[in-house]
Amino acid sequence: MNKGIIFVVGGAKSGKSTFTIKKSSKIPGKKAYIATAEALDEEMRQRIENHKRQRGDEWITYEEPLKIANLIEEKKDSYAVLLVDCLTLWLSNVIHADLSIETETEHLISSLITPHSSLMYIVSNEVGMGIVPDNKLSRRFRDMAGILNQKVAQAADEVYFMVSGIPLKVKG
C-alpha cells in the first residue's frame, strides 16, 4: 500500500527543502533523508552541514549520489517519511558518471511506484524556465531534467511548485 508520493519542484532557493521538512515534521515516526549532493569543495561541505542542522536530529541522513533507486527500495518500508533531495543534483551525478539516464530514470520511477509504507517527498529543481543554454551539455541537462521532472510528477500523488517560499499545489 502506497502512503503517497509528494513531488516538490521549484527554482534554486525557492524554499523546496524548507517546505518538505516543515510538512514532514508533522508526521510521527522515523524520517530518512536521501541526499544526492557530494561535498566536492568547502562551500558545498558547508551547505550540506547547514542542511543537516536545519533538519535536526529526527532525521537519519543517507548520502547517495547515484543509486537512489536502490536506496529507496531498501528503505521504503523502514521509515514514516522518506525524502529525496534533490533530483537535479542526482541527474548531474548520473551524467558525470556516464550512466544511462533513461535506465536510471526508469529504475527511479519503478522504485517510487512499487508499493511502500513510507510517505515519500521528492525534491527537484525547475531548470527550464530560463534562457536557452549556450552549449550542448547544458541544453541536454535542461532537457533531461525536464523529462525527469515530468515522469516524477506523473507518478506523484501531489505536486507542489515553489515560488519565493510559497507552495503552489498543482496536482492532487
Query: Looking at 51, 96, 107, 116, which residue is catalytic?
Result: 51
Alpha helices in 58-135 (DSSP H): 68-75, 87-96, 101-113
* Amino acid present at 54: Q
23 half-sphere exposure, CB direction, 13 A CA radius: 20
**Dist CA 87 CA 71 (whole Å):** 14
Closest CA to 80 of 58, 52, 98, 111: 58
Cell reading at 64: 547517495
Has 107 been annotated as catalytic? no
Q: Which residues are catalytic?
A: 51
